[in-house]
Amino acid sequence: MSEDFYDVLGVSSDASTEEIKQAYREKATEYHPDVSDDPNAEEKFKKIQKAKQVLTDEEKRQAYDRMGHDRYEQAEKHGFDAGESGAGDPFGGMGGGGMGGGLGDIFEQVFGGGGGRGRRRPRKGRDLRTELEIDLEEAYEGVEKQFSVERPEECDNCGGAGHPPDADARTCPECQGRGQVTQVQQTPLGRVQQTTPCRRCEGEGTLYSERCSECRGEGYVRNEATLTVEVPAGIQDGQTLRMEGEGAPSPEGGRHGDLLIDIAVREHEEFEREGDDLRYRLPISFPQATFGDTVEVPTLDGAAEFEIPKGTQSGETFRLEGKGMPRLRGRGSGDLYVQVQVVTPESLNEEQREALEAFAEAGGDEIEVTEGFFEKIKRAF
Ligand SMILES: [Zn+2]
Ligand SMILES: [Zn+2]
């Protein structure tokens, strides 16, 4: 798979957003890591998600088209988003301006090119978890689902810094700017030295004259975010989808964590699911079981014709091939098992009663028509 986002999704560079979404749905179903056999499925799936994320966002797509794949990737990895949209300078105070040579070069100089030579990579944000309930029909078709999740997000007001940009900064006197304090205690066992993050500056080493009023200095606020997730057809109850970068922000300015979505598939009134197969109970009459009949049975894809063979026994199960749930790996579908149940009538009209008595007698059964009549009939059949 080529790296280029358009190639990843298999669309042309002038594809519409709709076309891109459609291509994404197909690819996502194929490579979903919970389901794909491909040993590189997870990596491929991430690329597919990434490509869709960028190409369906008009602003990001423009930047991507303008910069080309490599430069975009590099820029984005290091928090370029904020810089590009002008929402704030992620390198405030780092001399990001005036270094010349284009963004890629600046990132290289500031971050050591990400090759592990320079500074440690900032820690990724926390993964968050949520649950999403869908219907069996939605699991059958695959669905684009909108949902809300409450999560910490970078404070817009201060860009995550926790203080107004023009707040005066001074070195924390408690820790002399080190961000940690070392305490030495005299104990009966000797001197014990303990280093803890400085409480006064919360480990930052710097105190600001003002706190951000929005987030009270935290740098992030809890927001209700509305997100859309692509649930692939065939997903099973209890499987988990991962939305990369939709988790908590990193306190160190690194990548966001991921959002894990546990899928719950609601039980269906008519169908029972067993893996990729479905089960359906079909009530039929005694004559239908005896003579055979052609009836319609419901499937998740509309009604299907089903032929009850002559002489069907109550409880017998028939298989309708390929009428079950689609398999996540994109290889066909499971089956629909139809279990027939011969229903004994609870009341008969006069004509029916006579016919049934005649039927029993013709078979040599002595039937005494008392309260136990239907019990006996049942046994006889
Ligand atoms: Zn704030
Ligand atoms: Zn301090």
Q: At what angle do helices 102-111 and 69-77 cross, to 10 degrees?
A: 40
Q: Per the confidence metrics, is the pTM higher than 0.85?
A: no
- Whether residue 259 contacts residue 247, with contact meaning beta carbons closer than 8 Å, is answered with yes
- Whether residue 205 contacts residue 198, with contact meaning beta carbons closer than 8 Å, is answered with yes
Domain assignments of the chain as residue spans, ordered by start: 272-380
Q: Minimal CA–CA distance to 283: which of 351, 347, 355, 345?
A: 345
What is the DSSP annotation of 235-272?
A: --TT-EEEETT-SPPPTTS-----EEEEEEEPPPSS-E
- Rounded (10°) CA dihedral 153, 158, 161, 165: 170
- Phi, psi at residue 222, to the nearest 5°? -90, 125
Residues 152 and 310: their CA atoms lie apart, in Å, by 64
Q: How confident is the model at residue 342 (pLDDT cuts 50, 70, 90)?
A: very high
Q: Minimal CA–CA distance to 330: which of 82, 94, 27?
A: 27
Output the CA 290–ligand 2 centroid distance in Å. 87
For the ranges 103-107, 177-181, 287-291, the one whose mean pLDDT is highest: 287-291
Q: Tell me how crowded residue 97 is: count the other CB atoms within 10 A of its CB.
A: 9
Residue 217's pLDDT is: 85
Output the CA 251–ligand 1 centroid distance in Å. 13
Vertex 148: Cα angle to 273 and 212 (nearest 5): 155
Output the CA 305–ligand 1 centroid distance in Å. 63
CATH classification (class only), 272-380: mainly beta
- Pairing status of strand 190-197 against strand 317-320: unpaired
Average pLDDT over every residue of 374-380: 57
Output the CA 374–ligand 2 centroid distance in Å. 88
Q: Specify the DSSP class assigned to residue 219.
A: S
380 has pLDDT over 70: no
Output the CA 207–ligand 1 centroid distance in Å. 15
Residue identified by tokens 């011969």 is 342
pLDDT tens track for 114-156: 333 344 567 788 999 999 999 999 999 999 999 999 999 888 8
Q: How confident is the model at residue 339 (pLDDT cuts 50, 70, 90)?
A: very high
Average pLDDT over every residue of 199-227: 88
Output the CA 29–ligand 1 centroid distance in Å. 39
Output the CA 209–ligand 2 centroid distance in Å. 14
Task: State the ligand closest to the CA atom of 208.
Answer: 2
Residue 372's pLDDT is: 52
Output the CA 166–ligand 1 centroid distance in Å. 13
Vertex 135: Cα angle to 129 and 137 (nearest 5): 135
Task: State the ligand closest to the CA atom of 214.
Answer: 1
Sign of CA dihedral 29, 148, 154, 259: negative
Per DSSP, the chain holds a count of helices (H) and strands (E) of: 11, 15
- Whether residue 161 contacts residue 212, with contact meaning beta carbons closer than 8 Å, is answered with yes
Residue 379's pLDDT is: 57
Residue 165's pLDDT is: 86
- Whether residue 194 contacts residue 182, with contact meaning beta carbons closer than 8 Å, is answered with yes
Output the CA 157–ligand 2 centroid distance in Å. 24
Residues 277 and 305: their CA atoms lie apart, in Å, by 18
Pick 250 or 321 by higher pLDDT.
321
